[in-house]
């Protein structure tokens, strides 16, 4: 058997591996191994050096394939099944990746509400028990209200073996909940990180950032977790916890602020005479188009605004009215208020550890 096809397939596997498309990479590695084994079988015993080189390559492929298999089979658990989790599942489903994952969700309504199971074709496991989830998952993400997180952690440390807890990568998307506070409740060491993302992941157009301890940066589970989020969002970087709280206000709350702007523009268009449906669609698509230009061109927002504003035209008159109403300052105040709220929540949660 010719080794050309096997080598090409192996190159493809390495490429997919580098792109973090792990399930597809595993498939290519497995097929390449099968083909290389046939190649080795056809090499004469007299060509020992050639046989050894191929066998070494096969061993390397098998080692990598085994590690990929372990990563892919890692079970992910979400404590809480609200809109922000459903948005993530929607995005992963749209990326054709959800059925390749092992996802558990624990929430009080798991036994009564089967809508999530139906929506995602039974590709997730539902439970009412946080203990069951922690005993089955390697990655656990907290997505409950801040007022509930302490009691959830207390339940977990009472019912789950400590050695088991130390093997889990815990993630929080709760605004203001610091790694230090969560660590004091879970008492598991350094296996805790924070992530902030937004509902835009539902359409694979979100943003996310990670805050973690320095000792946790090379955690294999964290690297794998990033590969999951990369399928639905743009990575803003590894940041400090204070920066993450700012991002909570910007990328977490930002979509709601933008929706308020879209609603206001649409209301104005309705007042002027457009139908509600058309006004809503045009306002949303106008914002979508502007965002696309700003991201793809790296233009400063003021530059695009100036490009649109002609002397004595309609746009500059409208902008004058926005300035009179203090809209720019209102957005700044909204972001600062959301950020300050996250800081206040952090202080309140920290007090509960004392």
What is the pLDDT confidence band of residue 54, given thresholds at 50, 70 and 90? confident
CB count in 10 Å sphere of residue 214: 8
pLDDT (tens digit, 9 = 90+) per residue, 179-230?
999 999 998 877 899 999 999 999 999 999 999 876 555 667 777 788 889 9
Domain extent for 110: 74-239
Domain membership of residue 248 (yes or no) is no
Whether residue 205 is found in the same domain as residue 319? no
Domain membership of residue 44 (yes or no) is yes
What is the pLDDT confidence band of residue 148, given thresholds at 50, 70 and 90? very high
Domain membership of residue 215 (yes or no) is yes
80 has pLDDT over 80? yes
Domain membership of residue 354 (yes or no) is no
d(CA 170, CA 114): 26
In the chain, the number of structural domains is: 3
Instruction: Give the per-residue SS3 of 294-319.
Output: HHHHCCCHHHHHHHHCCCCCHHHHHH
Q: From 51, 71, 91, give the residue that closes a domain.
A: 71
pLDDT (tens digit, 9 = 90+) per residue, 270-303?
999 999 999 999 999 999 999 999 999 989 999 9
Whether residue 90 is found in the same domain as residue 223? yes
d(CA 138, CA 74): 6
Whether residue 229 is found in the same domain as residue 86? yes
String of DSSP letters for 108-176: TTTTT--HHHHHTTT-EEEES-HHHHHHH-SEEEE-S-HHHHHHHHHHHHHHS-HHHHHTSEEEE--TT
Q: Report the CATH number at residue 158.
A: 3.40.50.720
Domain membership of residue 350 (yes or no) is no
CB count in 10 Å sphere of residue 118: 9
Whether residue 14 is found in the same domain as residue 59? yes
Stated pTM of the model? 0.77
Whether residue 18 is found in the same domain as residue 97? no
Domain membership of residue 47 (yes or no) is yes
Place of tokens 């019912």: 159
11 has pLDDT over 60? yes
pLDDT (tens digit, 9 = 90+) per residue, 117-138?
677 767 788 888 999 999 889 8
Domain membership of residue 50 (yes or no) is yes
Whether residue 84 is found in the same domain as residue 190? yes
Q: Which one is predicted more confidently, 344 or 118? A: 344
Whether residue 79 is found in the same domain as residue 174? yes
Q: At 290, list the tokens.
A: 């502007």
């Amino acid at each position: 058997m010719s080794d050309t096809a096997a080598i090409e397939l192996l190159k493809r596997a390495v490429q997919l591996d580098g792109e973090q498309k792990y399930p597809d990479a595993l498939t290519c590695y497995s097929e390449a191994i099968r083909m290389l084994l046939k190649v080795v079988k056809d090499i004469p015993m007299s060509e020992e050096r050639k046989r050894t080189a191929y066998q070494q390559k096969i061993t390397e492929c098998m080692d990598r394939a085994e590690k990929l298999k372990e990563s892919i089979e890692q079970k992910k658990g979400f404590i809480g099944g609200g809109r922000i989790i459903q948005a993530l599942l929607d995005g992963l489903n749209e990326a054709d990746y959800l059925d390749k994952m092992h996802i558990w969700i624990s929430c009080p309504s798991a036994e009564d509400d089967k809508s999530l199971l139906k929506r995602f074709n039974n590709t997730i496991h539902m439970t009412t028990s946080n203990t069951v989830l922690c005993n089955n998952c390697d990655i656990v993400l907290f997505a409950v209200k801040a007022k509930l997180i302490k009691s959830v952690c207390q339940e977990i440390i009472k019912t789950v073996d400590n050695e088991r807890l130390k093997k889990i990568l815990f993630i929080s998307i709760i605004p203001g909940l610091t790694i230090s506070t969560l660590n004091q409740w879970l008492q598991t060491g350094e296996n805790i990180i924070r992530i902030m993302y937004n509902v835009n992941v539902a359409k694979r157009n979100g943003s996310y950032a990670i805050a973690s301890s320095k000792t946790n940066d090379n955690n294999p589970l964290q690297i794998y977790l990033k590969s999951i989020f990369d399928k639905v969002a743009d990575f803003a970087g590894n940041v400090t916890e204070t920066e993450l709280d700012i991002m909570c206000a910007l990328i977490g709350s930002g979509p709601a602020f933008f929706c308020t702007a879209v609603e206001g523009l649409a209301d104005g268009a309705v007042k002027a005479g457009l139908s509600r449906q058309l006004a809503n669609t045009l306002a949303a698509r106008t914002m979508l188009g502007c965002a696309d230009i700003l991201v793809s061109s790296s233009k400063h927002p003021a530059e695009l605004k100036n490009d649109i504003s002609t002397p004595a035209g309609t746009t500059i008159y409208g902008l004058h009215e926005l300035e009179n109403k203090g809209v720019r300052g209102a957005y700044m105040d909204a972001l600062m208020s959301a950020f300050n709220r996250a800081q206040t929540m952090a202080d309140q949660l920290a007090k509960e550890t004392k």
